[in-house]
Amino acid sequence: MNSDNTWSALRKDVYIYTDGGCHGNPGPGAWAALLRWQGQEKGFSGFDPQTTNNRMELMAAIHGLGQLKRPMTVHLYSDSQYVVKGMTSYIADWRCNNWQTAVKKKIKNLDLWQELDRLNQKHHVTWHWVRGHDGHLENEYVDGLVQKTIKTHLDKATSSSHVIL
């Protein structure tokens, strides 16, 4: 694996695959992303002890795009219609409506939508929706990474709560 400096040095298209999920909704959750370019791959994930599925889906895209150090052409794949439709159908209107819906309602997860919008404007991103749990290799990988991350953190919490002094 090359150093992180390699990510910003290459100007070829970057492919990002993302997923997020929770055990319970809300509940403990995780996000994961896989970045691929020129045959190189970098997978990573994060955990939140109390969150929602939608927040984790947004965090996956934010962290995936956040790895890129300079403007890139990106193909981002997500099984979340919430994220893909938000970025392709709604975000421009939300921005024009002072970050409110067309009926002047507050946008859920506004902090994350604004950060994702900032990153999206920095790059040339094409958003792709993929059906989850349908054999899409990269989506299955990031889904597995989400589940592993949640399990690892829950196992740590369980084992530390049973310590007898």
Active site residues: 19-20, 57, 79, 133, 143
Q: Which two tokens stand for residue 129?
A: 């929706």
> Considering only CA atoms, which of 70, 86, 83, 99 is closest in space to residue 33?
83
Residue type, 72: M
- Sign of the torsion angle spanned by Cα atoms 109, 112, 113, 114: positive
